[in-house]
Amino acid sequence: PLPASLRIRLKPGPYVGARAKELAERISKMRGVEAVNYGEGWTETMERWLWMALGLDLLVSLAVGLGVVSAVAGTVRLTVWARRDVIEVMRLVGATDGFIRRPFVLEGIIKGLSGGASAALVLTAGYKTFGHLVPLSTRDLYFILGGCILAGAYLGLLGSRMALEEVLG
């Protein structure tokens, strides 16, 4: 006859390896338990790879964010330069700095919104294609998509403000 055995599944979540190790230690101390096998090496290796992937994801996100800010800043800088005659006339007739800056800030926000919306569309297409591989609720998906759009708007605002500080002073 085969020895009695139990197969236990942990709920997915953070630190599964540590939780599995703790549970294995508790079970191994029970009376009548000869051995506990929970794939210690495999879980630790998988968690290490997961943390490295998360770090790489953060670095890529930072690089993309800096790229968005510099692209919007460059575009707004060119727009201000192209309209420098209009800006000079506006200053001569008494327009405030806020009045002059507002359309350029709005342009940066709109460019950021369109970039964030494009990212959200790409993510949606990816989720429709590979969604069966990622356990994600609809609420979480909408939260991520909204975050993409808001992050794009914020990065556009940041880029336009940086360009305006540099060009208009």
Give the 3-state secondary structure of 131-169.
Answer: HHHCCCCHHHHHHHHHHHHHHHHHHHHHHHHHHHHHHHC
CB atoms within 10 A of CB 14: 9
Q: What is the predicted pLDDT for the residue at 1?
A: 63
Q: What is the predicted pLDDT for the residue at 106?
A: 95
Digit-by-digit pLDDT tens for the chain (169 residues) are 667 788 888 887 777 778 888 888 898 888 888 888 887 788 788 888 888 999 999 999 999 999 999 999 999 999 999 999 999 999 999 999 999 999 999 999 999 999 999 999 999 999 888 888 887 888 999 999 999 999 999 999 999 999 999 888 7
CA 144 to chain CA centroid, nearest Å: 8
Q: What is the predicted pLDDT for the residue at 104?
A: 93
CA 29 to chain CA centroid, nearest Å: 43
Position 71, amino acid? A
Torsion angle, alpha carbons of 113, 117, 118, 123, to 10: 140
Position 161, amino acid? R
Residue 15's φ and ψ, nearest 5 degrees, are 60, 40
The string of pLDDT tens digits covering residues 139-149 is 999 999 999 99
